[in-house]
Copies of this chain bind each other. A is one copy, B any other.
Amino acid sequence: MTMESTIQEIARNARLASRTLAVASTAKKNQVLQDLARRLTDLTPEIQAENRKDLEAAREKGLSAAMLDRLTISDATIAAMIQGLNEVTALEDPVGTITKTWTRPNGLEISKKRIPLGVIAMIYESRPNVTVDAAALCLKAGNSAILRGGSEAFFSNTILARIIGDALENAELSRESVQVLPVKDREAITLLLQQEAFIDLVIPRGGEALIRFVVKHSTIPVLKHYKGVCHVYVDHACDIDKAVSICINSKTQRPGVCNAMETLLVHKTMAPAFLPRMAEAFTQAGVEMRGCPQTLEMVPNAILADDNDWEAEYLDLIVAIRVVDTMDQAMDHIAAFGSDHTDVILTSDKINADTFVNSVSSSMVGVNVSTRFNDGGELGLGAEIGISTSKLHAFGPMGLEELTATKFVVLGKGQTRL
């Protein structure tokens, strides 16, 4: 078989399996998740043996210690996978929910009913635990999944796929409900992205280059965010203690993630009181500051920011700081340099809070809170499969509900159109 026919076969089988999954009961789907959790415990030694093959190859290729760490399936990694499976089991099944009903003047009874999307392809670079997490979320929402993890995790993902398949088969569901692409080639991704006849959604997770590659080559709808350039705007009036605490949390609680603050905007009347205290806290936390000229007047240990800093997603202990004359200027800055991800105002001015909330069109707009709350778990959606900054379908964290669609169900008594 050519690679093209292999990939098409995988996609076609996923579509076939999705028809059964779409009508599978919640009990059956939960049974698979719980069975899978048991198998991961029982088969930990086998999983770790396969994982060691990946680790050895990675060491030979000279991957960094951080990369090796991400690749390792430790006992703690297994425990986290199992906890994830338990959490997804506990989530409410969105499939079959009626979201709205109404009756037309001609007597048609109309409802919108939640259904699975069908087949979801995930393309990711990161840890092998994504394989189990993504499979669980897709499955619970009644979708087939085609998973393509990083080639450096090939052996780990292959055994995880086999175990997931065993759990599916044990519940009399098709093994092809969850498939891991059995080829390492990048060409396989390009071919997969052309299977729009069989695949409903692609979710890429990883660096901006991977995501741009997927968007460029896909004829299938893609949910993604390129990057998170998140802003905190400190308004003309606010509680300085709280502002410092929120900024430290937004920047340093986990600097390597997409909802960490990258740029701090400060109103000029607040800057003289706020910035020196903020700078002290940043310095203590080991945060490098890159500021506009006005910032540098108040923060001598900041270095001068250049144009690149305003659009940088540092993912590191670095922050860009700009003093603005008005809230409008802050919002213009966010519109020009932001990424529609997460933007927050810190203010005690109720009118400004409302204006900011109404005018800034990011997936999460916050008032007096940390940017770090833009997360499926923190917002109360349960587990998340990713965050979208394109406004289509889902805007922000995507939970189970975002892995479904609604169809129109129309019940009649023989009505025809006039």
- Chain B, Cβ-Cβ closest to A239: B414
Contacts of A102 in B (CB 8 A): 380
Decide if A366 is an interface residue (CB 8 Å cutoff).
yes
Q: Cα distance A250–B249 when bound, in Å?
A: 60
In the assembled complex, the Cα of A281 lies from the Cα of B357 at a distance in Å of: 60
User: Closest B-chain residue to A358, C-beta based?
Assistant: B23
Q: How many copies does the complex hold?
A: 2
Asked if A365 CB lies within 8 Å of chain B CBs, one says yes
Question: 0/1 per residue, A342-353, Cβ < 8 Å to B?
Answer: 000000000001
Q: Which residue of B lies closest to A355 (CB)?
A: B23
Q: Is the CB of B117 within 8 A of A370?
A: no
Contact A365 B22 (CB under 8 A): no
Cα A412 to Cα B347 in complex, Å, equals 11
Contact A391 B117 (CB under 8 A): yes
Residue A406 at the chain B interface, CB threshold 8 Å? yes
Question: Separation in Å of the A363 CB from the closest CB of chain B?
Answer: 6
Measured in the bound complex, the distance between the Cα atoms of B370 and A201 in whole Å is: 30
Which among A245, A357, A365, A415 has the greatest number of chain B C-beta atoms within 10 A?
Answer: A415
Instruction: Kindly state the separation between the CA atoms of A249 and B380 in the bound complex, as whole angstroms.
Output: 47
Q: How many residues of A contact B (CB 8 A)?
A: 71
Residues of B within 8 Å of A335, CB to CB, are 19
- CB-based contact A407/B246 at 8 Å: no
Please provide the chain A residues from 342 to 384 with a CB less than 8 Å away from any CB of chain B in the complex: 353, 357-359, 361-370, 372-374, 378-380
How many Å from the CB of A70 to the closest CB on chain B?
22
B245 touching A359 by the CB < 8 A rule? no
Q: How far is A8 from B200 in the complex, measured between Cα atoms in Å?
A: 30
Partner of A373 from the list B368, B396, B410 (CB cut-off 8 Å) is B410
Q: Do A362 and B392 contact each other (CB < 8 Å), given the known contacts A104-B379, A380-B102, A412-B369?
A: no
Which of A76-84, A122-130, A145-153, A214-222 lies at the interface? A214-222
Asked if A361 contacts B415 (CB within 8 A), the reply is no
CB atoms of A414 and B242 under 8 A apart: yes
CB neighbours of A219 from chain B (8 A): 215-216
Per the bound structure, the CA–CA distance linking A364 and B109 in Å amounts to: 12
- In contact, A412 and B367 (Cβ under 8 angstroms): yes
**Bound CA span A408–B388, Å:** 12
Measured between alpha carbons, how far is A366 from B22 in the docked complex, in Å?
Answer: 18
The one of B200, B361, B369, B411 in contact with A115, judged by C-beta atoms closer than 8 angstroms, is B361
Are B249's CB and A416's CB within 8 A? yes
Point out the residue from B96, B201, B414, B417 that lies within 8 Å of A392, measured CB to CB: B201
**A390 contacts the other chain (Cβ, under 8 Å)?**
yes
Report B-chain residues with C-beta under 8 Å of the C-beta of A411.
353, 366-369
A residues 1-46 near B (Cβ < 8 Å) are 19, 22-23
CA distance A378 to B412 in the complex (A): 13
Whose C-beta in chain B lies nearest to the C-beta of A332?
B19
Q: Is A108 an interface residue (CB 8 A)?
A: yes
22 A-B contacts (beta carbon < 8 Å): A22-B359, A23-B358, A102-B380, A104-B379, A104-B380, A108-B373, A110-B379, A201-B392, A216-B219, A221-B221, A221-B392, A221-B393, A250-B416, A253-B416, A363-B408, A364-B408, A365-B408, A366-B409, A369-B411, A373-B412, A373-B417, A393-B393
A-to-B contact residues, CB < 8 Å: 19, 22-23, 96, 102, 104, 108, 110, 113, 115-118, 196, 200-201, 215-216, 219, 221-223, 239, 242, 245-246, 248-250, 253, 335, 353, 357-359, 361-370, 372-374, 378-380, 390-393, 395-397, 405-417
